[in-house]
Every structure is written in C-alpha cells, then in structure tokens.
C-alpha cells in the first residue's frame, strides 16, 4: 500500500477538502454527490483524482487534535451520543452525529463509538459509526475487532458498511485479514462478496492482485464480484471476468510508479465521468418522455394539475418540460388556470438558467398585467447572459415602452447576444410607439455607437443586422448615412437590412444607390430592392423593376413574381400614360399571362375614366379581348369585344367596315368558345350577309366539335343549348337543309 507521505510527496499538490454535500461513500477514485436522485460529478478532475490523497492526509496528518483523555467534553458529546443511539432518528442525522464525534479523536468518544459498533441490537448505530469511519478514514485500531464482527456476522444489513470501513485502515494486519476473508473458500459467500466489493476503494497492489486471483475462484458470485471491483477500480469494462485479460493487463501495470498510477487514474476518471454524464442524460431524456406521455394520455380536466406538479418537481428537466407544455397551451389558445400562471412566475428565480430563460418567454406569451415590470426587475438582478437575452427578447415581444431605457442599455453591452437582443427589443418597442425628439435622438446615438464598435471588430454579423433594422424603425435621419454605407457591405444580410432600413426611413435620396442592387447576388436583397424602389421611386424605376420580370434577366421565379406584384400594386394608382409605358416596358409578356391581362384591364379602365372618346381605347380593348381569349377567359373576352364592336360601328368607311366585321367575328368566336347561346341572337341581328355566313359556319363547326366527344356529357349539353338557340333565333335565316341537320343532331343526341 502507498503511504500517506509518499502519495502527498509525489502529488506535490495542496488540496483542501470541504464537506459540500457529499452524499455517498468517499473513496480514492470518485466523489459523487446527489443530483435530483441521479449521481453526477460535482468536483473538478483534480479534486476527483486527489480526493483519496486528501483522505489519507486527513487520516495520517494531525487533523483535528484530540482534546486529551482528561479533558472534559461539552454537552455536545451527550447530544450527539443520544442522536446516534436513538433509533427514531433518520440515518442521515445519526451518521452526521457519528461523523462529528469521530472527528474529535477523543478516547472517551472512541469508547462510546466502539460500543455502538459492537452493539448488534442497534444496527442503525453500527451503520452510522461505520459510515463515519469510511468518510473520515481509518480511526482507532480498537474499532477493527467490532468492524470485523460486523463483516463476518450474521446481520446482512451492516456487513457492507463494516467492510467499507475496514479497507480504510492501512495496517498490514487488517489488509491480511481482509485478503484472507476474500480468499477464504470456507467463508460465507456473502461475506466474501462484501469484502471483495470494498477492495475497489483503495489502490494497493496486494488488493488488485487478490481481485485478479479471485477471477479463477470456483464460486461464480466471487468471480463476478471480483470482476466488478476491478472494473470500478480501473474503469475497464470490456474485460468482464476474463482472468487471462486481467492478468495480461496486470503484468503491464504491476510495476508502475505512484505518478504513473495517478496519471492512469486521471484518464480513468475522465472516461468514467463522460460515461456517467451520458448515462444520466439518457435517463433524464427517458424520464422526460415518460412524463410527457403521461400528460398526453391524461384527460383535459387533469392536465393542468399534472403541469402544476411538473413545475414543482425537483428535477430541472421536468420543470422545463412543464414550462414547454404550458407554452404550447398558450400558443394553442388553451386555458391556463390562475394558480398555474402564478406558479410559472415563481420560476423566474429558479436555480436552472434554462428554466429562467424559458419562463421569461412564457411570461411574455401569457402577457398578464404587470408582466413587463416583473421581467424588468428580474433583468436588474440576472447575471446569466443567456437568461438576460431571454428577458430582453420577452420585453421586446411585450413592446413595453417602460422597458426602453433598459433595452437601450443592453445595446451597449459588450456581450454580442445581449446587444442583439436589446436592438431587437428596441425595434419592436419603437414600432409600437414611435419615438420622437430627444428619445429618438438618444436611441439613434446608442445604435450608431454600438454599430461602429461592431464594424470595428469585423464580426458579429447578426448584431449589425439587428442594429441596422432598429435604425430603420427608430427613424432618425442622422443614421441614414450609415444605412447607405451598409449597402456596399460584403454580407448579404447587412445589405438586406440596409435596404429595408432606408425604405422605412423613406430615404428617397438613396433610391439610386438602392436601385444599383437590383441585380444583387442575394435573392432576399433583390426582393427588398423591388419593394423599396416601388415605395421610394415610383415611375422612375419601373424599367428597373420590370427587368426583373424577364426570365432571361431574373432566374429566380419568386423574385420575378414579386417584381410583377410590385408593378401591379403600382398600377392600381397609376394613370393611363403610366400604364401605357408599363405595357411597352413589359419584357415580351405572354398574352395569356395573368399579370398582362390585369395591367391591360387597368389601362382600359384608366382610358374610360380619363377620356371615354380616346383614340387609344379601341386598340386597348382589342388587346385586352385577345389576351382574355388566349387566357381561356372567353366570357370576359366576349364582353370586351362587344364593347369594341359597338365603338367601331360609327366608322362607315370601307376600312372601317372591314374592321367592324373583323371585330364582330372575334366577338362571335369568343361567344362560341364560351358556349354562350347569345351567339344566336348576335347572328340574328347581323345584316351583313358575308359576316353572317362566316359566323354561321363557325357556329355549325362548334356544334360538330362538341358532339364529336360523346364521353363528355357537358359538351353534349353545350351543343344542345347552341342548337336550340339557333333554331329559336334563326328560323328565317337558316336554309331548310341546315335547319333539318340541326334538328337531326338535336334528336340524335
């Protein structure tokens, strides 16, 4: 066994050990404390490695000096003594009493504790004293006989505690006794297993050798216990109970020095910690899923009671789940009981920063009266940057004007995330309640100064984007120069924010600079440019915008669509001259294109409104009628062409008559395309024989076409309606032969 002096000398470390909530056995390898029912490592790696060294230093060094055999003890002894003896006391209280007494190193105390160890009628006291010895290290040698009796006796509840205490003794005689018990094939197997289990707590070559030798013991329980102790001691889990592999490993490691052993321990502890953390994370995930499954399977009337329990759970992951589920209820407009909402508020002071952050956003979603003030108070004392970000974001969501000073202060923070959240919150607050005067100037100054700092640091793109967006909302003219300069930034998100900011500022003097980005490589920037130019430039930039509707110029369909929609929005308030210009600038539009039809309709409407006798109206009507026909909107085309036909009737010249006949035939074609029976009335009114004959042939051809497809009942119905209309409206204009054919078609179908 390595001596205390050797270990302390080789380590060259001065480590102090506190009693910060240790809740399990304290050995050379691990220090584990309680965490909501799950084990987790709570000390640094060095503390883990040298916990055993400190343990030995405590037991070997001067520690707490004895008070002396003749020195009177205070009433504390009597109090603690009664606590150990009292079976009604909790195990924790009895252990703490024994631990305090044992630390006094007093003969009178030792006599009392030794009696408790030997009193088999009070196993609770035996356990308390044995665990105290395990915690503080080897005590008075007179404790060894009763501890051995606890280990080898018939009471199973104290057996392991006795073994754990005995391995803390450095006496060669105790070590020999423990090894003999572990090896003793005539011993009770349970006693051997308890001893073997305790041996993993101390690094001694004799104990390791014993454990490896026992891997070949004829008793399976002994072999398994030895393998488990070796695995816990070395953190090697892959060897199992394979004696040959362990022997090979021991042959390599048997002659290592103290320093080499400590280095190996460091690696072992790192692996063990990582594995434990992974296991704990998996267990927490399973627990959270199980809780959510219970919630999902519970009726609505009980759900809020379950959520209330979750918020009070000792495990932070469960509390966080409760917050998440409540947030979902709020998003789904489901009711939240006042008691539940009140419990949410108490978690703003939760120890887990994740919960405080989530609660901040939930409080904003609940939007109860006074929420802004509550969040501001928490912001004033909150130290965690991530939680402060959540609080600032929540205040922005509330658009609380009383938070303006606080969020402006956050913009100046050196922490990028907090500054970004502050800028976002300021933008939302100013959007809800526009700033003016000194408030506007002060906000603009803060934004400008922080933006200059961010630019100088050549990073924090998201921060600069948020600052530029806030500049646009705050709306102070002093910052327009910064926005214009940002149009040339290499980052697309910065150019986008600058364009949007200038559009909000209505900075018309910057329209040309914005227009230069119409072909920007970033799609979002191009879309923002289109919106900005329509807002700022009006007719001046129509050509630039219309170019983005051309697939040969603009490859992205979404951008082309936005350009068209922007043009159409502008057309709604444009005059006839502007609309005519737009139609000329359209990049070879398809006449069947809906946007082209809409602009033509607006152009026709503007001409009617401005000058019903305009010479341009007939041409506009013709273009609109043709476009509607190509778009399959025959009924609308017929109405437009009828209007055009009525306008052409006034021209009695030869050319005018020819034009009138052409328009009328186009009108008839539109009626027939729509299967409109009004076509028969139009033919009945037509006095021009040539025009009538042409139209009649078109009608008969349409009927034949419809009847050729018997699989479509709607076509048969349309043909029947057209035949009936012709027979009714044209009885004198139809020849007997044609009338008979139409009658035959009607009867056959």
In a 10 Å sphere around its CB, with 0-12 CB exposed, 13-18 middle and 19+ buried, how is residue 387 labelled? buried
What is the token pair recorded at 244? 């040959």
In a domain, 626, yes or no: yes
In a domain, 707, yes or no: yes
Residues contacting 536, CB < 8 A, separation 6+: 502, 503, 506, 507, 508, 510, 511, 514
H-type helices in 437-522, by residue range?
437-457, 461-474, 480-486, 492-505, 511-515
Answer with the one of 151, 166, 181 that is the final residue of a domain: 166
The DSSP code sequence of 372-414 is: HHHHHHHHHH---HHHHHHHHHHHHHHT-GGGHHHHHHHHT-S
Q: What percent of the chain has pLDDT over 90?
A: 42
| pLDDT over 60 (residue 579) | yes
Using one digit for the tens of pLDDT, what is the confidence trace for 392-443? 999 999 999 999 999 999 999 988 999 999 999 999 999 999 999 999 999 9
Q: Are residues 617 and 701 in the same domain?
A: no
Look at the chain and report how many structural domains it folds into: 3
Using one digit for the tens of pLDDT, what is the confidence trace for 200-213? 887 778 888 999 99
Q: What is the pLDDT of residue 268?
A: 65
Q: What is the pLDDT of residue 9?
A: 31
When comparing pLDDT for 263 and 243, which is higher? 243
In a domain, 4, yes or no: no
pTM: 0.55
Q: How many CB atoms lie within 10 A of CB 251?
A: 10
What pLDDT band is residue 647 in, cutting at 50, 70 and 90?
confident
Q: What is the pLDDT of residue 324?
A: 94
Backbone angles phi, psi at 34, to 5 degrees: -75, 140
In a domain, 383, yes or no: no
Using one digit for the tens of pLDDT, what is the confidence trace for 75-87? 888 889 899 999 8
In a domain, 215, yes or no: no
What is the token pair recorded at 277? 């953390």
Least reliable range by pLDDT among 8-17, 84-93, 307-316, 320-329: 8-17
In a domain, 586, yes or no: yes
Q: What is the pLDDT of residue 269?
A: 62
Q: Are residues 627 and 697 in the same domain?
A: no
In a domain, 691, yes or no: yes
Q: Are residues 632 and 717 in the same domain?
A: no
Q: What is the pLDDT of residue 138?
A: 64
Residue 152, domain extent:
73-166
What 8-state DSSP symbol labels residue 238?
S
What is the longest distance spanned by two Cα atoms in the chain?
Answer: 147
What pLDDT band is residue 596 in, cutting at 50, 70 and 90?
confident
Q: Are residues 151 and 77 in the same domain?
A: yes
| pLDDT over 60 (residue 516) | yes
What pLDDT band is residue 669 in, cutting at 50, 70 and 90?
very high
Give, in degrees to the nearest 5, the angle at Cα 538 between 536 and 544: 95
Answer with the one of 147, 166, 185 that is the final residue of a domain: 166
Mean pLDDT of the chain: 83
Q: What is the CATH number of the domain that holds 80?
A: 1.25.10.10
Q: Are residues 100 and 156 in the same domain?
A: yes
Helix axes 689-707, 713-729, angle to 10 degrees: 150
| pLDDT over 90 (residue 71) | no
Q: Are residues 84 and 160 in the same domain?
A: yes
Answer with the one of 166, 196, 230 that is the final residue of a domain: 166
Using one digit for the tens of pLDDT, what is the confidence trace for 168-192? 998 899 999 999 999 998 988 889 9
What pLDDT band is residue 267 in, cutting at 50, 70 and 90?
low
Q: How many CB atoms lie within 10 A of CB 339?
A: 10
In a domain, 636, yes or no: yes
Using one digit for the tens of pLDDT, what is the confidence trace for 24-59? 332 333 332 333 333 333 333 333 333 443 333 333
| pLDDT over 80 (residue 23) | no
**Section 105-129 average pLDDT:** 90
Q: What is the pLDDT of residue 19?
A: 29
H-type helices in 214-242, by residue range?
220-234
């Amino acid at each position: 066994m390595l001596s205390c002096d050797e270990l302390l000398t080789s380590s060259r470390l001065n480590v102090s050990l506190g009693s910060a909530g240790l809740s399990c056995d304290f050995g050379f390898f691990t220090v584990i404390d309680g965490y909501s029912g799950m084990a987790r490592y709570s000390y640094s790696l060095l503390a883990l490695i040298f916990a055993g060294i400190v343990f030995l230093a405590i037991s070997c060094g001067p520690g707490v000096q004895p008070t002396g055999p003749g020195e009177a003890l205070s009433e504390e002894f009597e109090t603690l003594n009664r606590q150990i003896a009292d079976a009604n006391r909790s195990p924790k209280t009895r252990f703490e009493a024994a631990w305090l007494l044992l630390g006094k190193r007093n003969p009178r105390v030792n006599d009392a504790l030794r009696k408790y160890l030997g009193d088999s009628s009070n196993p609770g006291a035996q356990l308390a004293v044995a665990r105290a010895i395990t915690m503080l290290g080897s005590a008075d040698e007179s404790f060894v006989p009763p501890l051995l009796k606890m280990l080898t006796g018939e009471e199973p509840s104290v057996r392991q505690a006795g073994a754990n205490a005995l391995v803390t003794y450095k006496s060669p005689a105790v070590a020999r006794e423990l090894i003999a018990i572990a090896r003793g094939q005539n011993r009770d197997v349970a006693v051997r297993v308890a001893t073997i289990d305790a041996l993993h707590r101390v690094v001694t070559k004799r104990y390791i050798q014993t454990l490896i030798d026992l891997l070949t013991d004829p008793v399976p329980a002994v072999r398994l216990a030895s393998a488990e102790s070796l695995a816990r001691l070395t953190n090697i889990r892959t060897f199992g109970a394979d004696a040959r592999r362990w022997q090979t490993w021991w042959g390599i490691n048997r002659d290592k020095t103290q320093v080499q052993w400590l280095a190996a321990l460091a690696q072992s502890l790192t692996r063990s910690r990582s594995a434990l953390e992974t296991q704990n994370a998996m267990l927490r995930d399973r627990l959270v899923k199980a809780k959510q499954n219970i919630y999902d399977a519970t009726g609505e009337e009980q759900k809020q009671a379950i959520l209330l329990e979750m918020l009070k759970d000792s495990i932070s992951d469960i509390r966080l789940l409760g917050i998440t589920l409540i947030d979902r209820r709020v998003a789904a407009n489901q009711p939240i009981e006042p008691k539940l909402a009140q419990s949410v508020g108490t978690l703003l002071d939760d120890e887990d920063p994740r919960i405080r952050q989530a609660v901040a956003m939930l409080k904003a979603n609940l939007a109860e009266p006074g929420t802004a003030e509550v969040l501001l108070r928490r912001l004033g004392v909150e130290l965690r940057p991530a939680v402060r970000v959540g609080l600032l974001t929540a205040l922005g969501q509330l658009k609380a004007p009383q938070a303006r000073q606080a969020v402006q202060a956050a913009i100046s923070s050196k922490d990028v995330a907090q500054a970004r959240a502050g800028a976002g919150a300021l933008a939302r607050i100013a959007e809800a309640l526009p700033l003016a005067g000194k408030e506007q100037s002060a906000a603009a100054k803060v934004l400008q100064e922080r933006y200059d700092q961010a630019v100088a640091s050549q990073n924090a793109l998201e921060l600069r984007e948020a600052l530029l967006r806030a500049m646009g909302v705050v709306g102070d003219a002093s910052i327009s120069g910064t926005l214009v300069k940002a149009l040339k930034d290499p980052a697309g998100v910065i150019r986008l924010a600058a364009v949007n900011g200038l559009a909000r500022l209505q900075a018309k003097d910057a329209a040309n600079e914005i227009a230069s980005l119409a072909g920007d490589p970033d799609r979002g920037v191009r879309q923002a440019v289109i919106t900005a130019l329509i807002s700022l430039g009006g007719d001046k930039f129509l050509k630039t915008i219309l170019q983005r509707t051309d697939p040969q110029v603009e490859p992205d369909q979404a951008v082309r669509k936005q350009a068209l929609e922007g043009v159409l929005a502008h057309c709604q308030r444009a005059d006839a001259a502007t609309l005519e210009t737009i139609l000329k600038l359209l990049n070879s539009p398809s006449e069947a294109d809906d946007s082209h039809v809409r602009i033509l309709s607006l152009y026709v409407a503007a001409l009617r409104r401005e000058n019903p006798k305009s010479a341009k109206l007939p041409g506009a009507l013709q273009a609109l009628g043709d476009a509607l026909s190509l778009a399959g909107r025959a009924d609308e085309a017929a109405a437009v062409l009828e209007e055009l036909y009525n306008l052409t009737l006034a021209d009695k010249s030869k050319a005018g008559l020819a034009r009138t006949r052409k328009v009328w035939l186009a009108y008839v074609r539109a009626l027939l395309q729509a299967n409109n029976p009004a076509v028969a009335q139009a033919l009945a009114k037509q006095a021009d024989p040539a025009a009538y004959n042409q139209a009649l042939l078109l009608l008969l051809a349409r009927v034949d076409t419809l009847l050729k497809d018997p699989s479509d009942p709607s076509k048969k119905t349309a043909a029947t309606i057209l035949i009936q209309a012709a027979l009714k409206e044209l009885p004198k204009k139809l020849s007997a032969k044609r009338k008979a054919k139409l009658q035959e078609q009607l009867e056959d179908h």
